[in-house]
Amino acid sequence: MKMNQFVIIGLGRFGASIGKELIELGYEVLGVDRDEEKVQEMSGILTHAVIADATDEDTLRSIGARNFDCGVVAIGDDVQASILAAILLKELGVKKVVAKAVSELHGRVLERMDVDRVIYPERDMGIRVAHQLVSPNLLDYIELSDKYTIAELGVPACLAGKSIEETNPRGRYGCSIVALNKPKGMIVAPTATDTLAEGDVMVVIGTNEQIEAFQDAIG
Ligand code: ADP
């Protein structure tokens, strides 16, 4: 289902950042916050921004929350308000509700309420930064499942000038280079003879252990 219209509840750092990016991407965004200052800051940026208490059902009805494809509950520390706003959006019939959790317990409650996606921005960013700190070549990664990961690894000096065949991560460690990002463009499904240059980015797929073994060998 294509999402076109978004309502964001809470225009703190997280909500404002999501809203600005969605606008950049060309979507319509209604921002809601009970703090007048936050609403004023965002009023020239978002499609609409309104001062309202999102825990009030009549208010959410009157701003037409049910007409939105996706609702993002970006309320931070007020856990009760976050839970109430998420329940109300679901009950009003918003198709997809995404909510930010500030603790594991808060997240478990949101999940029990059938919130479509619970996000733990600080926990997840902390984990991501820890991985990057211990693996200098790791630029970014996506966990496909508990077992499989796609990682973006910077090509270090020790691999510069080597072909994919010579580097041979599949034969040595079991993981495959599925794309190579070079300054002149991305090579998707590179061949054995494509060569690596320092600073290129390898997109590697494999099990966590295979990718770690490759990283350790080049790190
Ligand atoms: P962040 O860490 O993303 O900055 P904050 O907790 O600072 O998170 O921001 C949450 C925002 O949610 C604040 O601007 C606050 O005014 C807003 N907010 C909290 N409760 C409600 C509510 N019941 N209705 C609307 N907005 C709310």
DSSP code for 94? -
- Distance from Cα 14 to the centre of ligand 1, integer Å: 9
Lowest mean pLDDT among 19-23, 80-84, 129-133, 172-176: 129-133
Short-list 122, 141, 124, 52, CA closest to 88? 52
Which residue's alpha carbon is at the smallest distance from atom 15 of ligand 1?
10
Q: Which helix (H) or strand (E) holds 217?
A: helix 208-218
- Distance from Cα 11 to the centre of ligand 1, integer Å: 6
Q: Largest Cα–Cα distance in the chain?
A: 66
Spatial distance between the Cα atoms of 77 and 67, rounded to a whole number of angstroms: 27
Supply φ then ψ for residue 158, to 5 degrees: -65, -20
Spatial distance between the Cα atoms of 204 and 193, rounded to a whole number of angstroms: 17
- Distance from Cα 93 to the centre of ligand 1, integer Å: 22
Q: Are strands 70-73 and 96-100 parallel, antiparallel or unpaired?
A: parallel
Question: Looking at this protein, which amino acid is placed at residue 120?
Answer: Y
Question: Looking at this protein, which amino acid is placed at residue 22?
Answer: L
- Distance from Cα 35 to the centre of ligand 1, integer Å: 8
User: Mind listing the pLDDT tens digit for each residue in 129-160?
Assistant: 998 888 889 999 999 999 999 999 999 999 99
Which residue's alpha carbon is at the smallest distance from atom 12 of ligand 1?
10
- Torsion angle, CA of 184/186/188/194, rounded to 10 degrees? 40
- Ligand 1, atom nearest to 10 Cα: 12
Asked if the model's pLDDT at residue 1 lies above 70, the reply is no
Q: Does domain 135-218 have CATH number 3.40.50.920?
A: no
For the domain with range 5-120, which CATH number is right: 3.40.630.10, 1.10.3210.10, 3.30.70.100, 3.40.50.720?
3.40.50.720
- Distance from Cα 141 to the centre of ligand 1, integer Å: 30
Question: Looking at this protein, which amino acid is placed at residue 127?
Answer: I
Whether 9 and 15 have beta carbons less than 8 Å apart is answered as yes
Strand, coil or helix: 11 = coil
> Taking the domains of the chain in order of start, what are their residue ranges?
5-120, 135-218
Q: Does the ipTM exceed 0.85?
A: yes
Question: Quick one: pLDDT band at residue 111, thresholds 50, 70, 90?
Answer: very high
Instruction: List ligand 1's pocket residues with C-beta within 6 A.
Output: 9-15, 32-35, 38, 53-55, 74-78, 81
